[in-house]
Amino acid sequence: MHLSRLAIGLLLWSAILLPAQTHKTENVIFVMSDGLRTQEIFGGLDDGLLPSDEKIADRMKKNYWRDSPAGRRAALMPFLWGEIATHGQIYGNRELGSEARVTNTMFFSYPGYSEIFCGFADPGIDSNDKKLNPNITVFEWLNNKPAFHGKVAIFGAWDTFRYIVNAERSGIPVNDGWSPLTTIPTTPELALLNRLKADGPRVWDDEPFDFLPYYTAIEYIKAKKPRVLYLSLGETDDWAHAGNYSQYVEAAHRVDAYLKGLWETVQSMPQYRGKTTLIFSPDHGRGDGPVAWKSHGKKIPDSKYIWMAFLGPDTPPLGERSKIEAVTQSQIAATLAALLGEDYAGAVPNAGKVIPAVVGH
């Protein structure tokens, strides 16, 4: 009897002294950079792809070339390797035994985005055509919950996101392509952004330069304070397809600056400070070498390899992961929901499972 009472007392005392682990993430910011290669993420500037124009090549080397891969990648993506690698987790460096890959067989955008958003690959999604996604995304699933209804928003450079998230059915506000943002009160900044979308030069018909969706999303965050915000940037893919390595590299560097700007913006706001997780990934990889780097798809098997990064209050600071089991982009949806305390993997049995280390398990 005495031992039983002693055991109970010790349990009660330990419960008082050792507080239970608390869940801190209340918001998620998810940023993607279309087709940004693992080669630049983990190795920085690729000197085998420097342009023949010596002036441009010299400028690129001055800005981004360092003696080691670690130095080069830090010069190219300083926020990723200075902040996220220090306080979060990065997956996908196969040289360290950390593989991240897609599970769809297409290795291009719509199938990739759908896999990421839904948690599984749909063989019926086999093109980039503007067709409504028949599958329910994790964003729609969250938006249907009272705690998140009206607090989910999608921003994308590519004008196909309204179809990928099935905006009309899901009821989620989507601002993509060249569309003006008209669902929040107009500010001088927003008025200028909308004017630039209407009057600015268009290099690509289906999407603007990344600064437009980025700064538009910033205005929306300030006005509406969503709990889940998704932002997709597209210049890395567009410049790569054009074979313009210098612009591709500069676009990647700007994406890193946008990540830093987003993170500093939300950390300056009480609703987000210390309660927000940042996710960063691409939709597919690319090939390697002077020709294959420009493209991706079935004919380029290496374009199945991607990377993922996570930073937030519930993600242990494990840095660049090594010698671990492979992860897939189909796991992002369930992991995103789990960070918010929701069980998407349980509700959608064919979805990829949560990445345990990201949520502190």
Q: Are 265 and 278 in contact (CB under 8 A)?
A: no
CA–CA separation, 123 and 121 (whole Å):
6
DSSP conformation class of 354: P
CA–CA separation, 344 and 124 (whole Å):
22
Whether the predicted pLDDT of 355 surpasses 50: yes
User: What is the end-to-end Cα distance of the chain in Å, rounded?
Assistant: 36
Quick one: pLDDT at residue 11? 45
Q: Are 304 and 283 in contact (CB under 8 A)?
A: no
CA distances from 282 to 38, 143, 184, 308 (A): 9, 23, 28, 8
Question: Model confidence at 22, in pLDDT bands (50, 70, 90)?
Answer: confident
In order, the DSSP letters of 224-287 are H--SEEEEEE-HHHHHHHTT-HHHHHHHHHHHHHHHHHHHHHHHTSTTTTTSEEEEEE-S----
CA–CA separation, 159 and 145 (whole Å):
27
Which phi and psi angles does 168 have, rounded to 5°?
-65, -45
The residue behind tokens 């390595």 is 245
Per residue in 126-182, pLDDT tens? 999 999 999 999 999 999 999 999 999 999 999 999 999 999 999 999 999 999 999
Query: Which has the closest alpha carbon to 240: 100, 94, 41, 36?
Result: 36
Mean pLDDT of the chain: 95
Question: Model confidence at 5, in pLDDT bands (50, 70, 90)?
Answer: low
Cβ-based neighbours of 230, under 8 Å, separated by 6 or more: 30, 31, 32, 139, 153, 154, 155, 156
Q: Cα Rg for the chain, rounded, in angstroms?
A: 21
DSSP conformation class of 106: S
Whether the predicted pLDDT of 8 surpasses 80: no
